[in-house]
Amino acid sequence: MMVFVFSIGMIRRYMPRREILLVLAVAFLIGAIGGAFFLQPIYEEVPDLASSFEKSMPNNKETLYLDLSSSVDTDALRRDVSAMEGFKSFDETSISIPMWHFNEVEHDYFEEIVGNIDSNYKNYNVTSDRINIELADNYTSTEALKTFSDWFKLVYGETLSYAQIHAVLVVDSSHLDDFEKALLDKGIVASSIEGPVQNTVNNTNSSMLSNLEFTLVCGGVGVIVALIGIYMDSVVPAYRRFRKSMKTKRKR
């Protein structure tokens, strides 16, 4: 496409002088279209290319933070990911239990009682409509949800319909793509990722042009190429004269 733009610039001398603006407008349009449809997909791959070095480092690790539904079989998930190459660790860190909107009395009651339900609740906090419980080491979300659910049914006569499980998966950076695909096959997407690979991707993304900016830059390149074509007849002879004068000076 740039060859075509250059050619348009070259034939400008056969057009009326006032048509130069039309030539530049067409060059900008062609450059912008080429950038948007042909170069943009390649440009979007830059973060992945930039992170390839970090993926090749043997000791790099990535930490994936997972927010799972209580319907997910975390024991099966643990078995599946632990069998994969590059697995480091999988820990269930906490659970979040959505509740109704508490009034002040109910809020104070749960603040006082939750810690007495199970000694394996490492820490907890109660918001206006949710109870967040941090789990002790080697204590699973299944066990924590069961004790809370049993207590809730005993006191309120109802069962819990939903809860959220928070887990942390640590993997070798070189196998990050494999784990992301395996999780996606189960309908799970990490809420956030931390590590050298993700840091490189984030830093690269923050320094990249937006789609509109990239398209405008490509349009500008088209204009520059067209200008080179337009003034090629004067630039080339001037360059040759410059080289000839330099050779003459050297002989002297």
Amino acid at 233: D
> Do 190 and 211 lie in a common domain?
no
Q: What is the pLDDT of residues 69-101, one digit of tens each?
A: 998 999 999 999 999 999 999 999 999 999 999
Q: Is the pTM of this model over 0.75?
A: no
C-alpha–C-alpha distance, residues 120 and 122, integer Å: 6
C-alpha–C-alpha distance, residues 167 and 165, integer Å: 6
Q: Is the alpha carbon torsion for 110, 113, 116, 122 positive or negative?
A: positive
C-alpha–C-alpha distance, residues 138 and 124, integer Å: 17
> Do 80 and 30 lie in a common domain?
no
Which domain range does residue 26 map to?
Answer: 2-47+207-251
**202 in a structural domain:** no
- Classify residue 138 as left (phi > 0), alpha (psi -120 to 50) or beta: left
Q: What is the pLDDT of residues 31-65, one digit of tens each?
A: 888 888 888 888 887 777 767 777 777 788 999 99
> Do 113 and 135 lie in a common domain?
yes
> Do 95 and 135 lie in a common domain?
yes
Q: What is the pLDDT of residues 174-203, one digit of tens each?
A: 899 999 999 999 999 999 999 988 888 888
> Do 40 and 91 lie in a common domain?
no
> Do 141 and 227 lie in a common domain?
no
C-alpha–C-alpha distance, residues 62 and 199, integer Å: 10
> Do 219 and 168 lie in a common domain?
no
Map tokens 């088209």 to a residue: 222
**54 in a structural domain:** no
Residues present in the chain in total: 252
Assess contact for 119 and 129: CB atoms under 8 A.
no
Amino acid at 91: D
C-alpha–C-alpha distance, residues 115 and 144, integer Å: 12
> Do 74 and 151 lie in a common domain?
yes
> Do 85 and 158 lie in a common domain?
yes
Question: Who contacts 223 (Cβ-Cβ below 8 Å, separation ≥6)?
Answer: 24, 27, 28, 31
Q: What is the number of structural domains in the chain?
A: 2
**114 in a structural domain:** yes
Share of the chain above pLDDT 90, in %: 42
Q: Of 146, 171, 194, at which residue does a domain stop?
A: 194
The residue with greater pLDDT, 49 or 215, is 215
